[in-house]
Chain A
Amino acid sequence: MFKILKYSFYDLSRSRWSYVYFFFYLLLGIVLLFLNNNLSNAVITLMNVIIILVPLIGTIFGIMYYYNSREFTELLLAQPIRRSSIFLGQYLGVAISLALSLVLGLGIPFIAYGLFESAIIWDFVSLLTTGMFLTFIFTALAFNIALSNENKIKGFSYAILMWLFLAVIYDGLFLLSLVYFQEYPLDKFSLVATMLNPIDLSRILIILKLDIAALLGYTGAVFKQFFGTGLGFFLAMGMLTLWVILPVLRMVYVAKKKDF
């Protein structure tokens, strides 16, 4: 697996897009810090960017990488390598290189700004951790979609739809249902609904950590009331981990049964 990981990583490190992604975050970090001059504001703005953009990039990179490396995969399948190693290696190659772009791109300007002397360092770390979780989750989801769709155009459309659904439409539907069923107790429903969307989950996790009550919103408030900050934090982390593990397991399972 590590050899495949190495080659996927090497392949991506020669791709222009990895650098575009890296420089985008570098620029974003610099602009936010040096024009804003307020660390906690910068962290909140970053949160909003990360929560929408990281899933999108993870999805697109994941799906493009899978389809582009089809030939490479076929070459590997005839070699004495386990199937699961091939796909896990490729998946980790994409996810790790994206996570690295994110961490380095944002980390460098923040360190240059003097982050280590500031109390906000833990908020920043939790922001990067959720960013990494989102990268791993959405890359895995994209690989799942690609494995189940031979047709590139179809696979790509499904992937974008999935992102659109989880990032935008889900919240809308959720809000609508809250308004529509407002006479009923909705605490449990909203808790479950939040757990089922990794983007919502990440948002709540960051806000709980930042402790900004004004930004919590309905679900966040319920979440905090129900679990408290400590338990809520661990629960959200556990759910995010589950969101990584389940798609990866399905990916390995589907890959084992697939014909090439």
Chain B
Amino acid sequence: MVTYKGLNKKFAKNVVLNELDLSLRTGGIIAILGPNGSGKTTMIKSLLGMVIPDKGDIQLNDQSIHNQWKYRNNIDYLPQIANFPGNLTVTELINMIKDLRGRTTKDKELIEYFKLEPFLKSKLGTLSGGTKQKVNLVLTFMFDSPLVILDEPTSGLDPISMIRLKELIQKENAKGKTILITSHIMNFVEEVADEIVFLLEGKIYFQGTVAEIKETTGQPDFEHAIASILSDNNV
């Protein structure tokens, strides 16, 4: 579904993506892992066209996304930090995005699912981090796009919401959606992901299943397997 071909990106002198080649299949739950600053967010943002790569190409369903914008109709994106215009209320924001992107009725269902009804009339600036993240999740999942990208979806969520999120991800995946996740919570990744992409210094270091990563590192525990990759590479 998504193919990265020789992608390069530098911010000033800092090389973030270095000849990144990657191909992701349709219909999986893929976790992108890697230490801080390994280029996870840059990789995602270049797929969305928010970061313009210096070199290389990204293809979505065999179409280059370079200088295109309509393809974003097929992507739902959850940004890492939920920054919203502070003077809007939750309802206003949801209606605005619906107006920009098209009709959907799924928002009501999701608001109920994440128990957001009491906050609908509050200004976004006054919400707590976790509640903002839930609004963020509603905005992301309310359109039924074939590709869903979640950048740190668990940040600020309480345990109950975390369980709900896991269920939601699995439910959406069962409908045939491809789901791309970055996270630092290894338990969460181990539970939901069926494919791991490990990014190190702007390159793909490992791509495979959880079982495969345990096998190659010789560690029985997923968290330790990841940690052993990191310590072997002096990160």
Output the least CB separation between B218 and chain A (Å): 39
Interface centre among A14, A70, A74, A77 (most CB of B within 10 A): A77
- For A32-62 the 0/1 string (1 means CB < 8 A from B) is 0000000000000000000000000000000
CB pair B73 A80 closer than 8 Å: yes
B72: contacting residue among A3, A78, A260, CB under 8 A: A78
Does A154 touch B at the CB level, under 8 Å? no
Question: In the complex the two chains form, is A81's CB within 8 Å of B69's CB?
Answer: yes
Q: Is the interface of A mostly helix, strand, loop or mixed?
A: helix
Question: For the complex, what is the distance from the CA of A197 to the CA of B69, rounded to whole Å?
Answer: 37
Chain A residues contacting B84 (CB-CB under 8 Å) are 71-72, 75
Residues of B within 8 A of A203 (CB): none
A71–B83 CB distance below 8 A = yes
- How far, in angstroms, from A5 to B169 measured CA to CA in the complex? 35
Tell me the complex Cα distance, A30–B158, Å. Answer: 58
Taking the complex as formed, is A76 at the interface, i.e. its CB lies under 8 A from any CB of chain B? yes
Question: Bound state CA distance, A11 and B101, in angstroms?
Answer: 19
User: Are the C-beta atoms of A80 and B45 separated by less than 8 Å?
Assistant: no
Interface residues of B in 48-76 (CB under 8 A from A): 48-52, 69-73, 75
Chain B 132-148 interface mask (CB, 8 Å, partner A; 1/0): 00000000000000000
Q: Is A77 a contact partner of B50 (Cβ separation < 8 A)?
A: yes
Q: Report whether A11 and B50 are in contact in the complex, using a CB–CB cutoff of 8 Å.
A: no
Compute how far the CA of A11 lies from the CA of B79 in the bound complex, rounded to whole angstroms.
23
Contact in complex: A80, B69 (CB < 8 Å): yes
B52 touches A77 (CB 8 A): no
Write the chain A residue with the least CB distance to B139: A75
Residue B96 CB within 8 A of the other chain: yes
Query: Taking CB as reference atom, which chain A residue is nearest B140?
Result: A78
B232 at interface by CB-CB < 8 Å: no
Distance between Cα atoms of A14 and B101 in the complex (Å): 24
Neighbour of A69 across the interface among B49, B69, B85, B100, CB < 8 A: B85
Task: Chain B residues near A14: list those with CB within 8 A.
Answer: 87
Residues in A lying within 8 Å of B, measured CB to CB: 3, 7, 11, 14, 69-72, 74-83, 257-260
Q: List 8 additional A-B contacts (Cβ < 8 Å) besides A71-B86, A78-B79, A79-B100.
A: A11-B85, A74-B50, A80-B101, A81-B72, A83-B69, A257-B52, A259-B11, A260-B51
- Can you report 15 A-B residue pairs in the complex whose CB atoms are below 8 A from each other? A14-B87, A70-B83, A71-B84, A71-B85, A72-B85, A77-B48, A77-B49, A78-B79, A80-B69, A80-B70, A80-B71, A258-B52, A259-B45, A259-B50, A260-B51
